[in-house]
Every structure is written in C-alpha cells, then in structure tokens.
Structure 1
Amino acid sequence: MLNGLSTTGYRLEIKINFPKLFNLAKPPSLKRSLLLCRPYRSSSFLPSVGELADAISREKHICIRSLDPAPVFQHLALEEWILSFLEEAVDLNNEYRVLLFYVNKPCVVIGRNQLIWNECDPSIITTARRMSGGGAVYHDPGNLNFSLFTPKHLFRRERGIEALRTSLQAEIPASLLRTSTFHDLFLSEKKVSGSAFRIARGCAYHHGTALFCSDLQMLSKALKPKEFPDFFISSMGASKSRRSFVANINDHYPNLKVASIIDGMAKFLGILICLQFCARYPKLSFNWSQFCVASRLEVYENPAHATGMNKHCLMWLSSLLNGSSAIIPNLA
C-alpha cells in the first residue's frame, strides 16, 4: 500500500476521502444518497462539489489527492466530473492545470474501444471501462494513478509522462528510464507506467499509472483473458492491448517514496506550495449524493458499460462459453 505521503510541494492541495455507503435495508435506488462524511481531521479535507469547483476556478493550478483505496467507479466518475466542470465553467483561454492522484482497490480497467473478454476474465475481478482509449490495466493499492487536465489548445501528450520521468530521475539514473512512442515508461526495459488520453470539446486529459508495489502475480492472473470463441472475437473489431513485461519501481528502488513522486510531478507542472488552504476551507463537508449526479457514477457502475452488452447478450454469451446450446437473443 502506498505510504510516505507529505503535504509539501503544492500551490494548493485537496485530499479527498470517499465516504462509505450505509449498509441499510433500503431500495438500491436510495442507497447512494445514504452517505455520511468521515469526521474532520486536520490532515484531511472533504470538499463539497461547490467548494471543489470554487477551488479549481480560483487557483487554476491545483493538485487533488484521493489516496485511500476506493472502488474504481468513484475515481472514474471523479475524472468525468472534473472534465465536465472544466469544459462548462472554466475559461478555457486560461492556462489551468488540474493534477489528480488516486488509488483504486483491485480491478481491471479497459479502454473505451476494447472487448472485455479479450483482456481479462470479469468473473474473477472487478472490471470497468474508462472513457479514454488505450489498453487494459490492472490497479491495486500498490499502483499510483494520475490524471493531468489541461485546455485542449495547450494539450501535449508527452507532458504527463515527462513529469513522471523527471520526478523519478531524482533517484533513478536517466539512462535506465525509457519512454516509448505510446508514452509508456520503462525501467530497465520493463514497463512501470502506461498512458491513455481523452480529448473532449475544449479540454483534454492524460491519465497514467505508476507501479510501485503492486501484486504482480495477481496482475498477470487478472489480465489473462477468458477463452473465447475465435469467430466472436474476430467479428467484434475491438482494439487489443499491447503486452509488456512489467516491474515494480520499489523492487528496484525500495527507498523511493510515493510522496517524492507526487511532489516532483507537481513542481514540474508549476504547482507551487501554498499553505492558505487550511485557513480558507476549514472543516468542509462532502456531499456525495450531489457528486453522484454530477459525475455519472451510475454509468460506470453498470456492468453493461464495462462489457458493452445488455443483460440479454450477457446471458447468451454465458451459455455459449459454458458449452450450452446458445440461441442469439431477440433484442427487439
């Protein structure tokens, strides 16, 4: 699990702790509104949507941290909300930069144009589909994720990976680090970071991974696709992931701290230190039900979003894979 975090190196820092659902016997449609904020602590800030939006609008260069492992759907929804807010409410002529760091519970995340059964077995691990392209990746608490949002006219695909590589070079010789044409990062010829991108109307983002101390055995198992009929795969036209040998950064450099990488990336991107945040935003509350509406959390949690199939297709596919006589369903 990632540790060694500090609060230095930022112009403004927000740390989000996602609240947990009550385990109450209520209809599923009501569950998401039954949420409590965690008690306020001096080291954790829990901004509401309005306060988070105000911070982004005021500061322009901002770092957001969500480093308590959370379900992947929450962080995909957070990315979606930030993108939507920047497009709708922020002057896109400004040179803003929003840098988001987050950690997910174990899961596989596939690209928007992929077929899930080409990439993993969704019956053994939580799966989600992101809105950006690229290939399938494994996330767990030993993997640091980052997303860099900028105006579309200032977007450079290499900027985020440059920030990560520069921060790593504080401890790792530059000769051991290599960036591929796909903006992946390799340490001693083993992949430690992958990238994906999304370009929207006026805003774009690059999100990537950084393997620090992930469970590589589980990674290998999770990214092993289920055996699938060849005729079905070939007919889908989905993009496939590029397979690479991977490594953990901490296996080679055990003293390298996540905090130093976060600080280094923020400084590289011009996000400077600022201590006014504590005084300006004391004891904030986090309105999760409001956030859910804004961020399309339900879309990401819906299994049909990850699989690309409705329940009728999934039932047919399940019977096909289990060797039963399968009839293509009538979806009318």
Structure 2
Amino acid sequence: MTELLGSRSLLFTDNPYHARLRGLVNRAFTAQTVAALRPLVAGVVGDLVRAADPAAGFDVIADVAAPLPVRVLCEWMALPPALHDRVGPWTHAIWGLLDPGMMTAADFDRVHEVVEQFVEALREVLVERRARPGPDLISRLLAARTADGDALSDEELVSVCVMCFVGGLETTTSLIGNGVLALLRHPEQAAHLRRDPRQAAAAVRETLRYDPPLQSTKRLVTADTVIGGAAITAGDQLLLCLGAANRDPAVFARPDEFDLTRSGAGHLRFGHGIHRCLGAVLANIQAEIAFEHLFGHLPELALIDEEVRWQEDTSHVRGLARLPVRSRA
C-alpha cells in the first residue's frame, strides 16, 4: 500500500489520471464546503486555548498548532474517536516519505507498518460510511460522481484521505507557529491585528511569503526549456526553492520585512498549476482563526524565551519544534 499512495496520490500523479482524480475530489472539496468548517475550526481553537494555561505559559506548537489540524480533519471525516490520537503520529511517520534522504532502513520498515495500519482503519470506516452516510468528507467522497458515472475506487479514496493528513498537518502546524513567531517579533504588526481582527487574513498571506512552511518542492521537467540561461532537458528534476522566491527583491519591495499591509500578489504560497495545494483554503481558515484568537483574546501575548527551537528531521518544511509563550489573561 505504501507504493499505492504514490501511484494514486494527487501529489505524485500527472494528467490524464491526475485530472480525473482531482475532478472527483474537487466535488467534495468545494470552497463552500470548506468555508462551512469555520465554526468547527473556531470551536476547536477555543477548546485548545482554554485547555492551556496562558498565565503560566503554554507551547503554541504542542498545545494549539499541532492538534488543531488533526482534530479538524478527524471531525470533518467523522473518524471514530479511537483513531483521533493515532492519526497524528501515523501522519508524522508517513511524512518522512517526502524526505527519504533523512530516513534509515528501520524508518522505512516503520512507515510501511504505519501505512498498513492507517489504510486498514480507513477501510473499516468506508464500510461503515457506505451503510450510514452523512455530511462528512468521506461520505462526500464516496458520493462523488462524474456525469458518466465515474467514481473513486476504495484504494483511491483511502489514498486521498491519508494524503489529506500528510499534506495538511505538518504544513498547517508550521504555518501557525511561524506566523505567531513573526507577529511576536514584530509587535507593530501584531498591534495591527489586535486593533482589527480582519487583518488575520493578511497575517496568513504575509507569513506564507515571509516564512513559508514549505520551503522547497520538486518538479519533473516535461519539455526542453531554458531558465536563466541554463538549458533544462525533459526528464530532469528541479528543486524549486519557494522560500527564496518569496523573498525575491525583483518581485517584492523590502522582501526581508514582515509587513501585513503588503499586497498579496506574486506569492508562491500553495504552488501553482495542476498540483496547487488542495487544502489551501482550509489551511488559510485554520491559521486565520488561530491568529484571531491568540492575538484577539490573549492580551500581552509574549515569548517566554527568545531562543526558539526548529524542527531538525526534515529538509523541506521549516517549522518550530516548540514555541513557549505566556499571556496575562
């Protein structure tokens, strides 16, 4: 099944298969459907912050940013409660496949075992959901049909669900953590957000430009071309440095400054073309509501320690391992 995640995944397939798969999945991931998750996200954020102890101090990553996307996806998929504490560790293990150069043989064995467990659990959910469909994401994916009756196979649907977690947990967690850190280190920008919570959307956009969670990605060249005077041949692999592109002084004035008033145009936030991030809207919503709550409801939120610790087990994602803060509320 590990190999199947690649052959049936939106991340790793091209047209015409990708277009078919994306067309079916898009029927469940409509903008209206995702926007309707705002109350769910707000409720989860509120629960997580209330469970923390702002006055004594809490870890933005462990207490808010990491559990938020797990709980939102589990609730949207209506997964059994027994799975809620398991999908996070499973996903973190599978994420390693996107950075195989940092994995050992034992890591690969562990990931294979994890994938089998995850897939088997989801297959059981499919059986239950076919018998009792609801408004959840899995039911919507099961019901997705083209005009000629094409539908997702069970293998494709399971792969989509697994990749929702793989693509949406680490990146959303890092987006929230990187944004909170940037705002705390730029108090004048945090003040804009506190005065006007509508600035949360701008804070998300600027975080994605200034300190994006996905720093690089690979692409396979499909036709001979020339980039910057260098000849690129069809079949070559390119490493695209999104973090550098988002600081390009030819595109952005004062590229190294964090500025919520900056125009949102030109950012390579969620990729481009057919592989643009499927969960972009949901990631935006989660980060917006997290920023609104943390800076709107916790006065004088501040870093406990200026020495922050970054993740060291990935070369593609830039994210914090921990972010201790406190507030007088």
Q: Same fold (TM over 0.5)?
A: no
For the superposition of Structure 1 and Structure 2, which TM-score range results when normalised by the shorter chain?
Answer: under 0.3
TM-score by length of 2: 0.27
